[in-house]
Structure 1
Amino acid sequence: MAFSRSIAFSAFLLLLLINGSFCFYLPGVAPQDFQKGDALQVKVNKLSSTKTQLPYTYYSLPYCTPKKIVDSAENLGEVLRGDRIENSRYVFKMREPKMCNIVCKLVLDAKTAKAFKEKIDDEYRVNMILDNLPLVVPIKRVDQDSTVYQLGFHVGLKGQYSGSKEEKFFIHNHLAFTVRYHRDLLTESARIVGFEVKPFSVKHEYEGKWEEKTRLTTCDPHAKHTVVNSNTPQEVEEGKEIFFTYDVEFQESDVKWASRWDAYLLMSDDQIHWFSIVNSLMIVLFLSGMVAMIMLRTLYRDISKYNELETQEEAQEETGWKLVHGDVFRPPNNSDLLCVYVGTGVQFFGMILVTMLFAVLGFLSPSNRGGLMTVMLLLWVFMGLLAGYASARLYKMFKGSEWKKISLRTAVMFPASVSAIFFVLNGLIWGQKSSGAVPFGTMFALIFLWFGISVPLVFVGGYIGFRKPAIENPVKTNKIPRQIPEQAWYMNPAFSVLIGGILPFGAVFIELFFILTSICCAVRITCGGGALTSHRALLHCTSFSSYAFFVVTGTIGFYACFWFTRLIYSSVKID
């Protein structure tokens, strides 16, 4: 009776939790209400570019700085992504439009002009944040009656004056902000649901000598409309005087706070390749069904044949796959390495599975900046328990006795190879003064997660796995290995791997084309006069991904083959 009550109470609590999960933005990002006149602080983030892979802090360029730069608290994922969120001099008042606000005046010298030109040439974009919403530039689509959004605005642009072939650099020094809000019908409070900007390059002018109260003749602070165009752009050259200004207007929106990220998640190319998806699915089903049918018919025939010969005492000579029953479960060469990679693959698989579960439940919402990377890193650390358990269980089945050695190799081998390259790349990025360089404090945190949590968990898992009874094979292994005859050329391991991979590749290569075209782009990074081509610059991330993919899929393939082999040999009577 008490047991049934506890089950009912647990189910009731679970229903409450499920019901409550629809009442707030997972993982707990609550909306913020603003009254008319409340201060809105715009924060600045990193400078990013699709042309290079090196992000920089906003104040690495001589933009207008506040009296004191305050860094916002960031999670581990944000730091690893290169985000550096800081305060700025852009401050609004809720639902109070203001035009031609002067932020600061800057006179360019040779150094600052060169810095702006380099960032403009590399197509860097400025990222800002308001109420946890990233700043976007709305762009009308020509082919459709819709709007897409690009994160951040360009530092500037390159162009030519009419009648001249000389290329000039122009800076976006005037920003026309639009803050969209959703007002509560019962109260005067409102919630921000959109943050947009239209950047302009404006050569501001004034009369007389510049003083603090001097007005610009190129824009009117009492106007009721923002700047819509610019006939005199602001050129970036040594000695030029630049005024940074902005307009801000507020527009009421029907979009509710819970749906404010929908517009940000719309893709510019949102066409789904249904034909290729259906084609790949049909190929997978056809090939899987054909192989499964052939295997099942062959196995049923062989098993019935072997068992029938045993009952009639006619088995004078073993044939087929029964012939190698005494060697099929023999530990392979470098079995320790196999155990290590199987454990690492289990660790990866557990991390991916739980991450996908969290994403489906809504814990990894886009409002939680850096949450995905943080969750994946922490899950990798805690999945070390499964890695140690899996490697120790397999190691004991192979008659191993030094479980501490195999646990240490499982905990160190893959992370060490990744960390070695990570530290080298981090040193190079730090030399370029990029915000992508991981600070020393974060590096110590990563080392602590590795040696302070992950390694001990691997040893705990190894200890538990090694104390378990060894996995018993369905057949005994011969003490003397069978002599393997010389194999035909098509039985060479390299050729077999190539042939075995053709069928899966044929099922996914169409979708693989769209995936690769979505993530691959030409990248050139200039470092000290030299150039890193896209192949070298992208080598580290693609090689890591391929390495991890190899480990995960290899582990899945190993366990599938291991289960299948045990199943068929346990179905045959062998003396």
Structure 2
Amino acid sequence: MLQYSHHWVVDNLPVIVCLQRDNQRRYCTSSVPLGCFGDTSDVSGTICASLVRSKNDVYLFNHYHFRVLYHQVKDSWSDEGLNRVISVLVEPRSISHPKDSPDCSSSTPLILPDRFDSDLAITYTYSVVYEPTEYKWASRWDYILDTMPESKIQWISILNSVVLVLFLSALVATILLRTLRRDIARYSQLESSSEVQEESGWKLVHGDVFRPPAWGMLLCVLLGSGSQLFLMVLVTLFFACLGFLSPANRGSLMTCALAMYACSGILAGYVSARMYKFIGGLRWKANVFLTATLCPGVVFVMFFILNLALWIVGSASATPFGTIVALLALWLCVSLPLCFVGALFGFRKHAIEVPVRTNQIPRQIPFLTTYSRPVITFFLGGLLPFSCIFIQLFFIFNTLWGNQFYFMFGLLFLVFLMLALTCSETAILLCYFQLCSEDYRWWWRAFHCGAGTSFYLFIYSIHYFVSRLEFRDATSGFLYFGYILIIVWLSFLLTGTIGYMACLWFVRKIYSVVKVD
């Protein structure tokens, strides 16, 4: 019974249980516990504080007192007013009812025995009171969200995060622009080709900077999938900011995200085809097929394995087989054909032009310093973008695993834009340092710099699992890390694509503003 709870819904609103903490702050949650365990060292400030009398006793809540708050409005069709439900609060109680005549006013708690020698008959009762309130129906969610834990401190935390990211972004942009402007001015002042050879820096690799990378098709496939995810997240959060995906519309957020992902398949095919044509690829059929199947295929297989585990243990939270078939049909009948349509438009477009020609013989790459190695740039590239989302991750994880409500979609949309900005700036900065060290293999490095955020996301999920969750069986841990791997995989594609696209724009820009012989 430990850690198990009810979740009730009345008029599309969660039923909440509230208590007063020691600091006089009201704490509310939608998790209604089944009972209490008499650990006297860990009940202060909880709903069990008034029940626990001795150690190791188990108390069962078998009476629920409901308070229904309503607001009366006038009805233009009749003289009688209409009552609209604003909030429903419940106070669970443990009452040892007499067998013959249940008494809800009894103060004797129901303590479960250590051993059950015979069947135990438990009487469940409830009581309801209706109370008027001045809250209006349009703002009834404000009443609930104001009492949720950490709802007020989130504003201060997000403000601190935004200020930090703005400061770091301005610092990175200032350093990069000043250094780059100085390089361009120096290269423009060179008059003879002999002087050019004496210089060192990113201009010397102009004949190799657009040389196609190894595993080019895989890179194009990942870029197409990442672009699809970027459009899905952008549009979904935009609609959430407008209020179409509020907590009052249960399931609307996931429905919108899935629909947008399927419709964004046309962008995945287009971007992948454009990038594949850019690097001179010839196996366009394989490229389009992998773009349409690799990312959603990995997610679908992982989700099916996790759902299979739920079926095996007989969990009620397992996704029905019909829903899985519907998701599979959405993928194969909508997303996959749109991906081929987008690829058709992409291959018909002219190839992306570059400002310099590629030499036939590759230039020798000098010895790499420690800070310019791929592993180091991978970790450095993800650190700054992660700093702008880790606070939001705490609230998002509480929503996913702590049965809380997430409602600050406007701030989440702002944080997402800040994430894209910092991913772009960090990837550009590291790409610039790489080119200055005369290493022209920036293609995969740019993708990895942005994708490094997913590594820190995985580390944070481990920290959250250890410090915040109390799973007591292997299945729960397996499900947690299974879903985390799906999130990390999608984050890897999303942030990696942002970093690559920013570096592609940057590289084309800097080599187009200097004179190359």
Residues 148-184 of structure 1: per-residue CA shift (max 9 Å, x gap): 3221422233349999978444432222222221112
Could you tell me which residue of structure 2 aligns to residue 317 of structure 1?
A: 197
* Cα separation, 2, equivalents of 1:386 and 1:152: 41
How far apart in 2 are the matches of 1:512 and 1:295? 28
What does 1:17-166 align with in structure 2 at a 5 Å threshold? 120-121=1-2, 123-144=3-24, 147-159=26-38
User: Identity of counterpart residues, as a percentage?
Assistant: 42
Q: Which of 233, 242, 246 is 2:110 aligned to?
A: 233
Q: Which residue of 1 aligns with 2:512?
A: 570
Corresponding position of 2:412: none
Once residues 91 and 211 of structure 2 are traced to their aligned partners in structure 1, the CA distance between those partners, rounded to angstroms, is: 69
Does the Cα contact within 8 Å between 2:273 and 2:346 map onto a contact in 1?
A: yes
Instruction: Check if 1:182 corresponds to 2:71.
Output: yes
**Offset, 1:513:** 9.0
Q: CA deviation at 1:419?
A: 1.8
Task: Name the counterpart of 2:232.
Answer: 351
C-alpha distance in structure 1 between counterparts of 2:186 and 2:39, whole Å: 84
Larger deviation: 405-414 or 285-294? Answer: 285-294
1:500–1:234: structure 2 CA closer, same or farther, 3 Å change rule? closer
Give per-residue Cα distances to partners, 1:17-62, cap 9 Å, x unaligned.
Answer: xxxxxxxxxxxxxxxxxxxxxxxxxxxxxxxxxxxxxxxxxxxxxx
Report the CA distance shift for 1:420/1:316 in structure 2 as closer, same or farther (over 3 A). closer
SS at match of 2:86: strand
2:62 is aligned to 173
Structure number having the greater strand percentage: 1
1:495 aligns with one of 376, 398, 419: 376
The match for 1:258 among 138, 151, 169 is: 138
Q: CA deviation at 1:240?
A: 2.1
Partners of 1:165 and 1:189 in 2: how far apart? 48
Instruction: Describe how 1:276-287 pairs up with structure 2 within 5 A.
Output: 280-281=161-162, 283-287=164-168
Unmatched 5+ stretches in structure 2: 41-50, 402-463
2:13 aligned partner, one-letter code: L
Contact 1:139–1:150, Cα closer than 8 Å, also in 2: no
The alignment status of 1:205 with 2:205, answered yes or no, reads no
1:384 CA drift (Å):
1.1
CA distance in 2, matches of 1:348, 1:358: 16
Query: Which stretch has the larger CA shift, 424-433 or 170-179?
Result: 170-179
Distance, in Å, in 1 between the alignment partners of 2:281 and 2:14 is 55
The equivalent residue for 2:261 is 380
- Aligned residue runs from structure 1 range 495-574, under 5 A: 495-501=376-382, 504=385, 508=388, 511=391, 520=464, 521-526=468-473, 531=474, 534=477, 536-574=478-516
Q: CA deviation at 1:298?
A: 3.3
2:245 to 349, 364, 382: 364
Contact 1:342 1:555 in 2 (8 A): yes
TM-score scaled by length of structure 2: 0.75
Does the CA contact (< 8 Å) of 1:396 and 1:470 recur in 2? Answer: yes
| Residues 399 and 203 (structure 1), Cα distance of their counterparts in 2 relative to 1, 3 Å cut | same
User: 1:140 Cα shift?
Assistant: 2.4
Instruction: Write out per-residue CA displacement over residues 469-488 of structure 1, whole angstroms, 9 at most, x where no aligned residue.
Output: 11111111112222223334
Structure 1 residues 83-136: Cα deviation after superposition (integer angstroms, max 9, x where no partner): xxxxxxxxxxxxxxxxxxxxxxxxxxxxxxxxxxxxx23x21122222212221
**Take 1:206 and 1:500, find their aligned partners in 2: how far apart are those partners?**
67
Alignment partners' CA distance in 2, 1:516 and 1:371: 17
Q: What TM-score does the superposition give when structure 1 sets the normalisation length?
A: 0.68
> Paired residue for 1:75?
none
TM-fit CA distance, 1:277:
5.6
8 A contact 1:175–1:245 mirrored in 2:
yes
Structure 1 window deviating more from structure 2 (456-465 vs 129-138): it is 129-138
How far did residue 363 of structure 1 move? 0.3
Letter in 2 for 1:363: F
Q: Distance in 2 between matches of 1:547 and 1:392?
A: 22
Shift in CA distance, 555/509, structure 1 to aligned 2, threshold 3 Å:
closer
Q: C-alpha displacement at 1:287, in angstroms?
A: 4.0
Counterpart in 2 of 1:483?
Answer: 364
Asked whether the equivalents of residues 234 and 242 of structure 1 are also in contact (C-alpha less than 8 Å), the reply is: no
Equivalent pairs counted in the alignment come to: 431
More off after superposition, 380-389 vs 491-500: 491-500
Query: 1:365/1:509 Cα in 2 relative to 1: closer, same or farther (>3 Å)?
Result: closer
C-alpha change, 1:185 and 1:147, in structure 2 (3 Å) is farther
Look up the equivalent residue of 1:125 and give its one-letter code: S
Is 1:460 matched up with 2:341? yes
Residues 62, 124 of structure 2: 8 Å contact kept:
yes
- Structure 1, unmatched stretches of 5+, are 1-119, 208-215, 220-226
Opposite residue 565 of structure 1, the aligned amino acid is V
* Secondary structure in 2 matching 1:355: helix
CA shift in 2, pair 1:330/1:271, >3 Å: same
Q: How far is 1:280 from its partner?
A: 4.9
> In 1, distance between residues paired with 2:15 and 2:158?
34
Q: Is the 8 A contact 1:523 1:533 kept in 2?
A: no
Q: CA–CA distance in 2 between the matches of 1:275 and 1:195?
A: 29
* Partner SS state of residue 128, structure 2: strand
Corresponding letter in the other structure for 1:448: A
- Inter-partner Cα distance in structure 1 for 2:52 and 2:373: 68
Q: How far did 1:503 drift?
A: 5.1
Query: Closer, same or farther in 2 for the Cα pair 1:543/1:242, shift >3 Å?
Result: same
